[in-house]
């Protein structure tokens, strides 16, 4: 067998062993990588998880201005929002998405919320919680009982002296459709890296 034929036979064996992909296989791999890139760049931040930055002091002492959080965007679709979860929501609706708030869920759908003095009442019972930086001095609209709809939540900032939250008419009850997600993890600063409570 001539040297040329041996070389060609050797190349054919390499191709059959999968070491040199065929052109169709290469195109298929490129399509898979392109789809994975689109998934990572567009779909994951839009529908699954994204980074957000705290702006302002309304969640002190839990969260501080400039901290970066990871927000998961799935649970709210199924109503998997619990009392004391920290959520990101659009107070003026999703059409004004550039403005969002980060607050803590206090009242759940169907509950009646009222603030008397510095105490929060849920369905007439005092809510045991210690998230507030300072005692509540202004109950706002919650001075009177507020009964939440089946798709509404009552939220407060942990820094209740400065927080613009469900106590005020400009925010009011937060509809489920306006929730952007649940904050689950702090990624910056590194010395506070970890889950949220």
* First and final C-alpha spacing in the chain: 75
3-state class (DSSP) for residue 6: helix
Sign for the pseudo-dihedral over CA of 32, 36, 42, 44? positive
Catalytic residue among 6, 22, 58, 163: 58
The question of whether 58 is a catalytic residue gets the answer yes
For residue 62, give both structure tokens. Answer: 């839990």
Q: Give catalytic status of residue 103 as yes or no.
A: yes
Q: Which of 103, 163, 166, 182 is catalytic?
A: 103
Q: Report the distance separating Cα 53 and Cα 30, nearest Å.
A: 34
Residues classed as catalytic: 58, 103
């Amino acid at each position: 067998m001539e040297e040329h034929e041996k070389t060609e036979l050797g190349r054919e064996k390499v191709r059959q062993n999968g070491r040199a992909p065929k052109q169709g296989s290469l195109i298929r791999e490129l399509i898979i990588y392109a789809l994975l890139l689109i998934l990572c760049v567009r779909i994951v931040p839009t529908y699954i998880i994204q980074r957000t930055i705290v702006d302002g002091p309304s969640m002190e002492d839990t969260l501080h201005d400039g901290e970066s959080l990871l927000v998961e965007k799935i649970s709210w679709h199924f109503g998997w929002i619990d009392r004391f979860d920290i959520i990101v929501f659009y107070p003026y609706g999703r059409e004004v998405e550039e403005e969002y708030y980060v607050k803590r869920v206090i009242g759940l759908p169907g509950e009646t919320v009222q603030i008397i003095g510095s105490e929060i009442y849920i369905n007439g019972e005092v809510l045991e919680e210690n998230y507030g930086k300072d005692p509540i001095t202004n109950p706002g609209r919650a001075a009177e009982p507020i009964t939440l709809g089946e798709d509404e939540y009552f939220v407060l900032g942990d820094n209740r002296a400065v927080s613009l939250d469900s106590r005020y008419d400009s925010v009011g009850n937060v509809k489920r459709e306006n929730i952007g997600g649940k904050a689950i993890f702090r990624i910056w600063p590194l010395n506070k890296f970890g889950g949220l409570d």
